[in-house]
Amino acid sequence: MSGRQAVVLLSGGLDSMVCAALAREQGFGVLALTIDYHQRHRIELEAAKRIAATLAERHIVLPIDLTAFGGSALTSDIAVPKDGVAPGIPVTYVPARNTVFLSLALACAEAAGARDLFVGVNALDYSGYPDCRPDFIAAFEALANLGTKAGVEGDPFTLHAPLQRMTKADIAREAARLGLNAGVSHSCYDPATDGGACGLCDACRLRAKGFEEAGLPDPTRYASS
Amino acid sequence: MSGRQAVVLLSGGLDSMVCAALAREQGFGVLALTIDYHQRHRIELEAAKRIAATLAERHIVLPIDLTAFGGSALTSDIAVPKDGVAPGIPVTYVPARNTVFLSLALACAEAAGARDLFVGVNALDYSGYPDCRPDFIAAFEALANLGTKAGVEGDPFTLHAPLQRMTKADIAREAARLGLNAGVSHSCYDPATDGGACGLCDACRLRAKGFEEAGLPDPTRYASS
């Protein structure tokens, strides 16, 4: 890889796809990092590979079995809610997931000589996860510069969250502006479909709302049942 | 497990052994978490199992292959220095290791319903790693309470680093006071020995200095060659 590199956390969803494309637009070579945390909706890993093939110079898929801890509908045998986005933090919250993922992105970046991290969190149209909010992102950046060799030696990390203040409609518009095929990404949480999106979980509802409000065609393939 | 639980990061070294015993002394049931990060000195994992068998109610060994990132003498084919503890951060520094390990301890704790984390870092007789210092530990605790469901819902985490201001002699004395068999632990970084300690790497030198300054017998088994 040549030029400035950035580590981009790539889940395979629409947000991280747009985030990777924005990093590239800013002139970074993208080192995409996907965490295979043994999520039940494993099909998102295939989406991540498809996205990385078009946007990344290098792609690392790192396995880490968070089912050893449990405590979430995404890693344990707990039903994914389908009744609409409710107030509060839902059971799809994975304990400390973004803290774990950002830590791994930081380790990856420091080892690779990259000083820029990108994460596709957003805190407007979201599920209420605490580890998507701006104060968490700012605190992680500060931690990164206290807890690393590069950080304390005056070569600090920057944590970019370019989608942070975007609505899902903004993100759908960004995808169109960047010429992305959003149909390649996979946002649905439900592992029990035929590989299409369920259309009912929070992730599906928020994504569909984005395309609708942006007045753009929804390229999502929905499950037949 | 019953009563108050704490997640204790257990590497298999003397510091984390004393840390686990201190958690137990404070009345916590110990959930020991050992990260198998594909460290070259894999024998410390066996030490962790021996320690957990005597001090922990539950032991999770979580594999995560940090050799995928590289960048350290503990995970890559870089020689472990043996010329004495030098100023600056040595090549045994593993990029963002404690950030990654604490994140995993946090995920483990939140999923298990524990709100106390213990880590055996110390910042007096140490190798100069940035992620052992008190300001890093304080920043991580703050992050934990911003980035978790429990933290934002008013059931905060406490990060204990009881060895933080101890010298290695203090730690050796604590091990004796707590009735621990320190010979069970393994601190050496060198993977090229017969399972005994090399006596020359930073970890060995700091450990031996502790027993010597405390006026206690050194129970370490040193390699024959």
Mark yes or no for CB contact B139/A148 under 8 Å: no
Q: Measured between CA atoms, how close is B74 to chain A, in angstroms? A: 13
Q: Measured between CA atoms, how close is A98 to chain B, in angstroms? A: 8
Q: Measured between CA atoms, how close is A68 to chain B, in angstroms? A: 8
Closest residue by Cα to residue B15 from B223, B199, B136, B178: B178
Please count the residue pairs, one from chain A and one from chain B, whose beta carbons lie less than 8 angstroms apart: 147
Mark yes or no for CB contact A62/B63 under 8 Å: no
The residue whose two tokens read 């649905």 is A188
Q: Measured between CA atoms, how close is B15 to chain A, in angstroms? A: 19
Mark yes or no for CB contact A98/B140 under 8 Å: no
Q: Of B93, B136, B151, which is closest to A149 when you measure between CB atoms?
A: B93
Residue A93 has pLDDT above 80, yes or no: yes
Cβ atoms within 10 Å, residue A213 = 15
Q: What digits encode the pLDDT tens for the residues A124-172? A: 877 788 999 999 999 999 999 999 999 999 999 999 999 999 999 999 9
List of chain B residues whose C-beta atoms are within 8 Å of the C-beta of residue A97: 107
Best residue in A94, A143, A159 for a mutation probing chain B (most B CBs within 10 Å): A143
Q: Supply B40's token pair.
A: 């070259």
CA gap A143, A147 in Å, rounded = 6
Instruction: Enter the CATH code of domain B5-214.
Output: 3.40.50.620
Average pLDDT over residues A66-92: 87
The residue whose two tokens read 């991290």 is A117
Average pLDDT over residues A197-205: 93
In contact, B132 and B126? CB cutoff 8 Å: yes
pLDDT value at residue A153: 93
List of chain B residues whose C-beta atoms are within 8 Å of the C-beta of residue A135: 146
Paired sense of beta strands A58-63 and A116-118, if any: unpaired
CA gap B141, B46 in Å, rounded = 29
Q: Of B93, B147, B151, which is closest to A98 when you measure between CB atoms?
A: B147
Q: What digits encode the pLDDT tens for the residues B73-127? A: 888 888 889 888 888 888 989 999 999 999 999 999 999 999 999 999 998 877 7
Instruction: Enter the CATH code of domain A5-167.
Output: 3.40.50.620
List of chain A residues whose C-beta atoms are within 8 Å of the C-beta of residue B94: 107
Q: How confident is the model at residue A42 (pLDDT cuts 50, 70, 90)?
A: confident
Q: Of B65, B96, B111, which is closest to A95 when you measure between CB atoms?
A: B111
CA gap B36, B62 in Å, rounded = 6
The residue whose two tokens read 């899902």 is A168
Mark yes or no for CB contact A144/B71 under 8 Å: no
Mark yes or no for CB contact A111/B133 under 8 Å: no
Mark yes or no for CB contact A106/B97 under 8 Å: no
ipTM: 0.94
Residue B103 phi, psi (nearest 5): -60, -40
- Write the burial class of residue A225 (CB in 10 Å: 0-12 exposed, 13-18 middle, 19+ buried): exposed
Q: How many residues does chain A have?
A: 225
Q: Of B62, B89, B151, which is closest to A149 when you measure between CB atoms?
A: B89
Best residue in A99, A106, A135, A153 for a mutation probing chain B (most B CBs within 10 Å): A99
In contact, A19 and A27? CB cutoff 8 Å: no
List of chain B residues whose C-beta atoms are within 8 Å of the C-beta of residue A140: 143, 147
CA gap B51, B12 in Å, rounded = 7
Higher local confidence (pLDDT), B127 or A182:
A182
Average pLDDT over residues A56-65: 96
Intervals of chain B under pLDDT 70: 1-2, 225
pLDDT value at residue B225: 57
Per DSSP, which regions of B49-133 are E strands?
58-63, 116-118
Task: Please give the C-alpha separations between residue A152 and each of A4, B122, B130, in angstroms, as whole numbers.
Answer: 20, 17, 7
Determine the straight-line distance between the first and last CA of chain B, rounded to whole angstroms.
44
Q: What digits encode the pLDDT tens for the residues A11-22? A: 999 999 999 999
In contact, A213 and A167? CB cutoff 8 Å: yes
Q: Of B97, B111, B142, which is closest to A69 when you measure between CB atoms?
A: B111
Best residue in B7, B31, B149 for a mutation probing chain A (most A CBs within 10 Å): B149
Q: What digits encode the pLDDT tens for the residues A108-124? A: 999 999 999 999 998 88
pLDDT value at residue B163: 97
In contact, B40 and B94? CB cutoff 8 Å: no
pLDDT value at residue A225: 57
